[in-house]
Structures are given as C-alpha cells and as structure tokens.
Amino acid sequence: MRPLLIALSALSVAHADLTATFRSGDQTDTRRDRLPALWVGEGESPTPFLDAGPFEVTWTGKLALAERQRLHFSFEGEGEASLTIDGEEVFSEAGELGSGKSDRTRLNPGDHDIEIRFRSKPDGSGRFRLFWEERSFPRQSIPPAAFQSEGTADPKRLGRELFASHHCAKCHLPSAGLGASPMGEMLEIAPLLADTGGRLNEDWLAEWIASPSSIKPDTTMPALVDASTDEGRQQAADLASWLVTLKINDTPEAPEAGLAEDGGAHFHQLGCVACHTAPGGARDADRIPLDLVSRKFQPGALTAFLKKPDQWYPHIGMPDFGLADDEAESIAAWLLQESSAVKRDEPAFPAGDAARGEALARELNCGACHAGLPLDTSAVPSLEAIFEKDWSEHGCLTARENLPRFPFTDEETASLVHFSKSGSRSLGRHVPAEYASRKLTSLRCTSCHAIDEVRPLLETTHLETEELIAHLERTDEKLDQSRPHLTLAGEMLHASYLESMIDGRERARPWLEMRMPAFHAHAASLAEGLAERHGIPPGEPAAIDTDPERVSIGRQLVGTDGFGCNTCHGAGDEPPTAAFEVQGINFDQAHQRLRKEWFMRWMDHPASITPSTKMPRYSERGKSQRTDVLDGDAAAQFDAIWHYLMSESKE
C-alpha cells in the first residue's frame, strides 16, 4: 500500500482545512482550521470573538482518501467528543479522552462528509486531537492534507488583523485598556526614530513619507501627506528634514567596495531572494524589492542594520541572521553597489524646513506610533468611540482630507467595516493558535519552508541569484541543504525548544548555509501558538527515566551493526561516521527537541511526513527489518532507540 500522506497529496484539494463553528451561550463564531485540534485553558477564550467559559465547537468538511482504507479513529484530550462520517456516528467519548478507539471503519476512495463535535469541560477549558490508524501505519494525528472545506473565511478576522497590525489603537486609545492578554499584534510597536539621522538619508525619507506603499507594497505605514499636491510634497520634505536631526550615534564608515563579490555570494547562500528581489531584478507581489537600499541607508549604517535588524524596530519582519562582521560588511557592500546601479527617475522634493517638520509631526501625532516623537491625542476619538461609528461613512477608510490614507484593497476595506460591527472586545483576547497562523504568513515562513501543501517560494526563486556564486569552487559538493517541513512542527518539537530556535538560541542544523534566522520579539508567542494549534499544551521536556536494558538495545540498533543511524547522526562529541552527502541532527539534542509521539511516527515512515527526506524506512506494517532484535517488533525497537537517545541527550 502506498504511504497514505503521499497518496493524499495527489488529490485535487479544494482547500485543506475545516470549517469550525464555535458556540458559547448565545454567541457564535466561525473560522477556518487546518486541523480539528485545540487547547484552551481555564479562563481563556476559545476564539477572540467569544467570552471565556463553556463552549462547543463543530468542525465540518470532507475527509479525502485516495484509496480504500480500513481505519480506526480515536481522540485525545479532555471534554466530550464525537466523530460522524457520511452521516453515521463512528465514535464518541467523554471525560479523559483517549482510552478507546472506534471499530474498524471501511472507507472507499474519494471525499467523505466529516463532522467532529467537541464540548469543553464546565470550567471552559478543553483539549482535543483526532487520530487514526490502520494496519499499514500506527496511531497518528490525521495530516492536514486529508481535510477539505469549501467554506469562506469570516471577513471580520482579516479586519481584526488589519486593525491591529496597522496600529489603529495607537491613535484611538482604549479608555479602560485592553486587559491582561490582548491580541498579540496590539502589543507590537512601530520603528523607533531616535537615531534616524545617523542611519537614513533625507531624500529617501521624503519619498517614503510621501508614499510608503509605493516603496514597500505591504507596509502598514499610511500616507500622512498628499504627495499629489505641492503642499504635500513640501510637508514630506519638512518632516524628512526634521527627522535627520534626530541623531544619537556617529555613522560608521562605509564597507569596502572590494567586499561586494563575497557579499553577493552570501546573499545567495542565505537564500535572501526568498523574501527579496535583488536590486535591479523584476519585482513581484510576494517579495520586498531592494532597489532603493543605497538611497535609504547611509552606507555605514547598512552594515549595522544587517547585524541587528531589530535594534530600532523590535517587531520588524526582517529577522536576525546572526551575521559575523565580515558577512554583514560584505553583504552591505554588495547591496550598496548593486542598488546604486539601478536607474530610476528620482522624485523631486523641495528643500525641507526642520522646524516646520517638528511642528507637523506634533500635528500629525507621529508619536502615537513612533515612541519618543511629538504626541497630542487629545482630539482623537477613543477606541470605544470609533466602534460606535459606521466606518464606511466615518474615519480613515473614507480617505478624507487630513486623515491617514491606507492602501487597503476593496476586500480589506470591506473586512474592516465588517470587523467594526463586532465591537472592540476581541482586541483584548489573545488566542495563540490564531496568532501563530497569522505570523506564519506575515513573517513569510513559507518563503523558506514547506507547510501542508504549500511549497516554499525559495524553490522557484533561488536560481535568480545562482550566478553570484559562479566564482566559487565546489559549491555542489556540500551536505544536503533541505530545510525542515513545518506541517507538524508544533507536534514534533517541545514548545520550549521551538522558542529557543525561533529566538536564535539553538541551531539544530549548523551545516545549512540558509541558517534559520531569529525572530526575537515573536519567539515565545509563536512557539506557544504552534503547539496549541495542534492541540498540544505548550511546555518543555520532562525528565526521562531511561531503562538500562532498552538503552543498550537502542545503542546497538543505531550503530553500525544495527540500522546504521550513526552514519549520518553524531552523538555528542562523536561525529557521524560517513555524512558525506546527508547529515542528521546530533542525538544529544533529542531530549530537548523531540516529543516521543512524533518520533515514533517518524521512525515508522519518515517519507509520510517529509516526502523528500533522505531518511530510510526501517519497518513496514509494524515489522522491523531487524527480525533478530525484540522479535522484529518495530515499535519496541523504536522505543529502545528512544531510551538510548534520552540517555545521550544534553540537558
């Protein structure tokens, strides 16, 4: 039988998710979920549009199978749950979920109507996951690719995200605050401009202020002046003239031009074209252009920015690659060289007046978003007041004179209006799983990583800069550069390890040229959300009492006389024996990284999780290739390897 996940991926998927309808008292809310899974603590809201307290959720859609299967289904969690397929209840359970499983259910190829109902505990807490198993594979969570839904997303969610990410509540302050756990984006801040004069060029600042979205299409910065008028261009020039007077540090010297060739190679090797079009390259809607780098940055300041992108903007989308001095200097040299060669008609602005610019900054309340700048919000309506208005007739969406102008599409504008009718209370509720889903998009995680059926953008863009390493020798003689798949990341890794990795404190694959960069400000919340959207409580690994006998068997199985795992994997200070093309993660990280459930699933059939993996399969239908150890019981052998790995792991 073909691996089920691979077979599923061959299907034509309408949309790989389910429609989730939540009810709490007389309140309802609907969202799209990639999995029927959740984790809600006591006192927490199951969705941002519902109060905390007892709730029910029903997931509906299709279960898509490529071939006939004879499946057992089971649950995990706490609460009450039932599963219905094609109108017939297959399984139900209450209390502590996971003690039983359904009878074997035969399902033919094609789409099957599926409905999963879950009711929380009376205190409003709840945890739920859905599993399946078959003779050809052990119990495991159902992969997202198996689910289909043709429903449409509720536009108020997009409106809520746009309202928060565009810092609308920075001007329209809430009278009574947002509570102890507001929406994650509500806590984010705009760039700090205290050292603008030591970093940025006045001409670029004027152009940026005049029309931010023409330089960076996905910016959250509105246009505060009307650049179509002489007055607007003068205002942009005045603001720019004042901003460059804000200076703390002396600008360092520009990088040596001779470093540019090395910098171009680093640019390619780090996979920068996953998120950026190179200077002079064709623009596309999915990436940020770099044509204006030399116009934006004072030459010496660009190196400092590359070394620490979040120094003046903690919530910037540009991550920290942990660049060494020579890497940052050479990349800066290449970017300055290439962007300086880009020919364009530079917009003309009149001479600016810093005094007028400072007064205008106060009038425009620039300090509402940019801490430390002039601020006077006394005449600005409160958050509560604007939610009493019709946003299609009042406020920033009307593009009226003297109001910020955001480049929202018609769909985005409609979603904001729709959100306004739901009130402001959802802004005070942080739901980690929904936050993680939003951040996977806004931080461009799929630029480098595959997730579900979405292939990484880098697969199609990396060839654009391949010529930058043409001068290097033996570039094809390196270890496999595959990047990890994110489909099961929250199920695979302990949240504590996810956080340390996203924060840049751990690097599991040091051989990757496209090293994982750090998103410092987002690490904790993103790790928490990645776990919770799989229905797994965020946490850290518990102490493991290893069994000496199983440790001994596991050591034998990973060695040369067993499965030969040590060919590619090192163990502590002991390097792999022959990792010429492929290298695996050092065994000493297993305890801190891996959840056992995922490890057992991976060992059973690695390609069913990551089809492109180089990891071989050692068992089929529960029987191991090594029939002489533990009677050929694959699960028992993998458990022995797990005990060995736990004994080797660093604490």
pLDDT tens by residue, 12-21: 334 579 999 9
Q: What is the pLDDT of residues 491-511, one digit of tens each?
A: 999 999 999 999 999 999 999
Q: Which tokens in the block code for residue 651?
A: 């604490």
Dist. CA 137–CA 133, nearest whole Å = 6
> What is the reported pLDDT for 572?
92
Q: Which residues contact 576 (CB under 8 A, 6 or more apart)?
A: 566, 567, 568, 569, 570, 583, 584
Dist. CA 208–CA 196, nearest whole Å = 13
> What is the reported pLDDT for 650?
61
Within 10 Å of residue 404's Cβ, how many Cβ atoms?
17
Between vectors from CA 39 to CA 518 and to CA 59, what angle results, nearest 5°? 110
Dist. CA 598–CA 594, nearest whole Å = 7
Contact indicator for 424, 389 with CB cutoff of 8 Å: no
Residue 131 vs residue 377, higher pLDDT: 131
Dist. CA 236–CA 234, nearest whole Å = 5
Between vectors from CA 416 to CA 411 and to CA 417, what angle results, nearest 5°? 100
The confidence band for 4, taking pLDDT boundaries of 50, 70 and 90, is very low
Q: What is the mean pLDDT of residues 224-239?
A: 96
Residue 150 vs residue 67, higher pLDDT: 67
E-assigned strand segments in 66-220: 69-85, 88-97, 105-107, 110-119, 126-134, 137-141, 147-148
Dist. CA 644–CA 631, nearest whole Å = 19
For residues 424, 59, 486, 140, the Cα torsion angle rounded to the nearest 10 degrees is: 150
Within 10 Å of residue 248's Cβ, how many Cβ atoms?
10
The confidence band for 22, taking pLDDT boundaries of 50, 70 and 90, is very high
Whether residue 477 is predicted with pLDDT greater than 80 in this model: the reply is no
Where does 249-407 have alpha helices with state H?
Answer: 260-269, 293-296, 299-307, 325-340, 354-363, 383-386
SS3 content of the chain, % helix, strand, coil (to 5): 35, 15, 45
Q: What is the pLDDT of residues 412-458, one digit of tens each?
A: 999 999 999 999 999 999 999 999 999 999 999 999 999 998 899 99
> What is the reported pLDDT for 13?
37
Select from 121, 123, 516 the least CA-distant residue to 319.
Answer: 516
Q: What is the pLDDT of residues 286-341, one digit of tens each?
A: 899 999 999 999 989 999 999 999 999 999 999 999 999 999 999 999 999 999 99
The helix (H) or strand (E) run that includes residue 528 is helix 523-532
Q: Which residues contact 441 (CB under 8 A, 6 or more apart)?
A: none
Q: What is the mean pLDDT of the chain?
A: 93
The helix (H) or strand (E) run that includes residue 62 is strand 56-65
Q: What is the pLDDT of residues 151-195, one digit of tens each?
A: 777 899 999 999 999 999 999 999 988 999 999 999 999 999 999
Residue 164 vs residue 478, higher pLDDT: 164
Please report, for residues 193, 302, 569, 583, 624, the alpha-carbon distance to residue 509 in angstroms, rounded to integers and kept in the order given.
36, 28, 11, 9, 28
Which of 2-11, 26-35, 373-382 shows the highest mean pLDDT? 26-35
Q: Which domains does the chain have, with CATH numbers?
A: 4-152 (3.90.182.10), 156-189+371-428 (no CATH), 196-340 (1.10.760), 432-532 (no CATH), 548-648 (1.10.760.10)
> What is the reported pLDDT for 400?
78
Q: What is the mean pLDDT of residues 626-646?
A: 96
E-assigned strand segments in 98-157: 105-107, 110-119, 126-134, 137-141, 147-148
Q: Which tokens in the block code for residue 211?
A: 């029309």
Question: What is the per-residue burial (b if ≥16 Cβ within 10 Å, else e) of 88-114?
Answer: eebbebeeebeeebbeebebeeeebeb
CA 179 to chain centre: 25
Least reliable range by pLDDT among 143-152, 233-242, 515-524: 143-152
- Pairing between β-strand 105-107 and β-strand 137-141 as defined by DSSP bridges: unpaired
Q: What is the mean pLDDT of residues 510-526?
A: 95
Contact indicator for 37, 128 with CB cutoff of 8 Å: yes
Dist. CA 588–CA 651, nearest whole Å = 9
Q: What is the pLDDT of residues 266-282, one digit of tens each?
A: 999 999 999 999 999 88
Whether residue 3 is predicted with pLDDT greater than 50 in this model: the reply is no
> What is the reported pLDDT for 475?
75
Q: What is the mean pLDDT of residues 603-617?
A: 92
